[in-house]
Structure 1
Amino acid sequence: MLIRRPAVVVCAAGLLVIAGGTAGLLLTRHSTAAMRPPPLGVAALPAPTGPVVAPPPQVLEKPAPAVARPVLLTIPLIGVRTKLITLGLTAGGELQVPSTTTVAGWYTGSPRPGAIGPAIIVGHIDSLTGPGVFFRLSELQPGDRVYVRRADGTTVEFRVTAVQTYLKDQFPTATVYGPAPYPELRLITCGGAFDYATGHYLSNVVVYTTEVS
């Protein structure tokens, strides 16, 4: 049952959105600092400094195989079927978020689904008007399947390997956004306890998946 929340901004996957009543986005306002992409070649990640967990740039030793951009995400078990918009970074180095709770977005700074490395897709958990596209994301379990259709008509299938919930001030940036040796996909939204005093969720839900060969 959907619990009505006060008219405040909530979050969905590591980013902040305050637009048109949208409330259920990625990361919310936090006292901790934002994780901004370190310069290429820098191994150590900076300490958090702001409201957003922004992914560090991925450096691949070999060029990733060319694959078409993702256009549609389907997760049959939880009733998700959404077109995918493209997301980049804001001028402040923060990860953009969808302007609506009804669609998910692929971060263009990450690999395309099916290429080597972790592709990143984020979406809202809810809003003032009801559930968002990733409202049931935390229900997924290892072995469940996720499908991404690409612009060339091909579909890549992923298998869930883990579902983790992290407090936002303990978000494992290197684990979520860091290099991976195989084609993988990360789905991110908000979750955990809801703080009525601040109007924010206290955690992020991250679903880890790997391509099914």
Structure 2
Amino acid sequence: MVNQYPYGSPVPPPPQPDDGGKVLRTTLLVAAIAGVVTVVAGMLIVLGAPEEYGLASDRDSLALTAQPEGKAGQPEQAMFQAAPDVPPPLPQIQPAPAMLPSSPVRLKVKRLGIDAPIKSVGLAKDGTIQVPPSDNPNLVGWYRNMSTPGEAGPAVVLGHKDTRTRSAVFSRLPEIRNGDQIEVKRQDGVTAVFTVGGVEQADKKTFPTQRVYGPQQNAQLHLITCGGVYNRNTGHYTDNVIVYATMTSSYRS
């Protein structure tokens, strides 16, 4: 017989038959298997409804700043948030030198399917900026008392989200993303290309006037439309959606 206990260990005597021990071991084995089955079943019940057993994770109830858009791994972009006197967000790209003034004639956002003529607008009688007429839902308005697109400072362009009967030119504006490009064709034949640096949704009662209209060294483009909830009593939306973009290149068509 081969020595199963090397390194000088003594060989134990052969085991003696013990029928009672076999019965006991069999009984213990069956009891152990039954116990494991019971524990596993209990765990499955608890995991199926953890909140009923005080085991629900706090993470399950946290409010997320960005919810899934529908495609796995592609969350919505979080909106820019800051105090009203904080400067506009800039894109992660070097701004282009500002150009001489020239009125805008057309605005394009390729990814959103926007290709709209531009109308010059001023101030209404109540002191607010005029909006483009609603009978032309694809028209946007450039506020002529500010910079022209491509000129140093903020160029402000407004467009409707919708009308009483259909969606309008800026209905998809909240879908724009940081890094997207906006093109503005000017009367001098130059197209100014702006890169989006941030998107903000602001309550109209706390509109960030300084950030939108304040002086800036770079050539910027600020697009504004309505957002939030529609108030049927006032006939207006509660918020504004504001896109901040900086000129990063230009070309002559």
Shorter-chain TM range is: 0.5 to 0.7
Q: Determine the structure 1 residue equivalent to 2:144.
A: 108
Report how far residue 68 of structure 1 moved.
1.7
Structure 1 pair 199–176 and aligned structure 2 pair: CA distance change class (3 A): same
- Between 1 and 2, higher relative CO (CA 8 Å, sep ≥ 6) is seen in 1
TM score, norm. by length of structure 1? 0.67
Q: What runs of 5+ residues in structure 2 fail to find an aligned partner?
A: 1-84, 86-97
- Cα distance between partner residues in 2 of 1:163 and 1:179: 19
SS of 2:160's partner is: coil
Whether 2:207 is the aligned partner of 1:171: answer: yes
Report how far residue 158 of structure 1 moved.
0.2
The structure having more radius of gyration, on CA atoms, is: 2
**Correspondences of 1:181-196 after superposition (within 5 Å):** 181-196=217-232
- Cα distance between partner residues in 1 of 2:232 and 2:126: 27
SS of 2:210's partner is: helix
Number of residue pairs matched by the alignment: 151
Looking at secondary structure, tell me which structure has more helix per residue.
Answer: 2
Q: What runs of 5+ residues in structure 1 fail to find an aligned partner?
A: 1-44, 46-63
Query: Is the Cα contact below 8 Å between 2:101 and 2:147 reproduced in 1?
Result: no
Q: Determine the structure 2 residue equivalent to 1:145.
A: 181
Letter in 2 for 1:91: K
Letter in 2 for 1:148: V
- Cα distance between partner residues in 2 of 1:71 and 1:115: 15
Report how far residue 193 of structure 1 moved.
1.9
Report percent identity of matched pairs.
Answer: 42
Divergent runs of 4+, >3 A = 196-199
- Cα distance between partner residues in 2 of 1:175 and 1:68: 23
Q: Determine the structure 1 residue equivalent to 2:80.
A: none
Letter in 1 for 2:112: I
CA RMSD, Structure 1 to Structure 2 (Å):
1.6
TM score, norm. by length of structure 2? 0.57
Whether 2:118 is the aligned partner of 1:84: answer: yes
Report how far residue 200 of structure 1 moved.
2.3
